[in-house]
């Protein structure tokens, strides 16, 4: 299978980035990380990238207040410079504008630590606990113009236990994030994702449910 070039956008510690790096390393993901871009200068993600000889770029958001699409013009230039085919948001805490989406149509993915469409936005593990839902999980989806609204590729479910804290629930969800993000990218790399309206159909697999219905 051909290796697709991905660009990973990050803001923080980068455990999802690390999982993608590791899965490429063991050969379970046919991708090459062409560039890691952070909006935060001190993001640990940048260190992770450098350790693996991956181009690590800080694009400061200073000076772009109220001009989000101008910031995205800079991101697009950087991504195109590295011949990125698929943009992977991994804990990137900024809203993406149509400027970036139009440059990469149906080629921007995000991971979110809840079972969308429940609990979009921020601090969602806390929100799930407070709401009292019995299950939460994580979602990989294509990004559209809304906040965590795009077509869903893979979800993984985790239980919420009576003694859970925000930290313990976040950790349980994160473990699944590290599995499903690489799987979704691999399905994309294999040309197996077809978007029909809101639905993402997974083509060409024998036992598709093993690949995208994750219920540990
Ligand atoms: C992950 O839990 C990811 O799902 C979440 O940020 C965390 C980043 O962790 N993303 C969002 O909430 C996006 N709205 P990481 O830096 O260790 O990968």
Given 52, 82, 112, 178, which residue is catalytic?
112
Query: Residue 19 contacts by C-beta under 8 Å, 6 or more apart in sequence?
Result: 177, 178, 179, 181, 182
* Mean pLDDT within 148-155: 97
pLDDT tens digits, one per residue of 8-39: 999 999 999 999 999 999 999 999 999 999 99
Residue nearest atom 8 of ligand 1, based on CA coordinates:
91
For residue 28, the CA-to-ligand 1 centroid distance in Å is 22
pLDDT at 9: 98
DSSP state of 29: S
Whether the model pTM is above 0.85: yes
Find out whether 33 and 21 touch, Cβ atoms under 8 Å.
Answer: yes
Residue 112, beta-bridge partner list: 139
Residue 90 Cβ < 6 Å to ligand 1? yes
């Amino acid at each position: 299978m051909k290796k697709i070039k991905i660009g990973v956008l990050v803001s923080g510690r980068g455990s999802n980035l690390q999982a993608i790096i590791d899965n490429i390393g063991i050969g379970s993901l046919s991708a090459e990380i062409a560039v890691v871009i952070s909006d935060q200068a001190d993001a640990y993600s940048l260190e992770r990238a450098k350790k693996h000889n991956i181009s690590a770029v800080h694009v400061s958001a200073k000076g772009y207040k109220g001009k989000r699409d101008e910031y995205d013009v800079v991101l697009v230039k950087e991504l195109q410079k590295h011949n990125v085919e698929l943009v992977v948001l991994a804990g990137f805490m900024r809203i993406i504008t149509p400027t970036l989406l139009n440059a990469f149509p149906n080629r921007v993915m995000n991971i979110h630590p809840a079972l969308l469409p429940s609990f979009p936005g921020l601090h969602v593990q806390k929100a799930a606990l407070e709401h009292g839902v019995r299950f939460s999980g994580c979602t990989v989806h294509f990004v559209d113009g809304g906040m965590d609204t795009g077509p869903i590729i893979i979800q993984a479910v985790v239980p919420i236990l009576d003694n859970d804290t925000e930290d313990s629930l976040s950790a349980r969800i994160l473990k699944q994030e590290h599995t499903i993000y690489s799987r979704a990218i691999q399905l994309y790399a294999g040309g197996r994702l077809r978007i029909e309206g809101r639905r993402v159909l997974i083509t060409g697999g024998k036992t598709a449910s093993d690949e995208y219905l994750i219920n540990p």
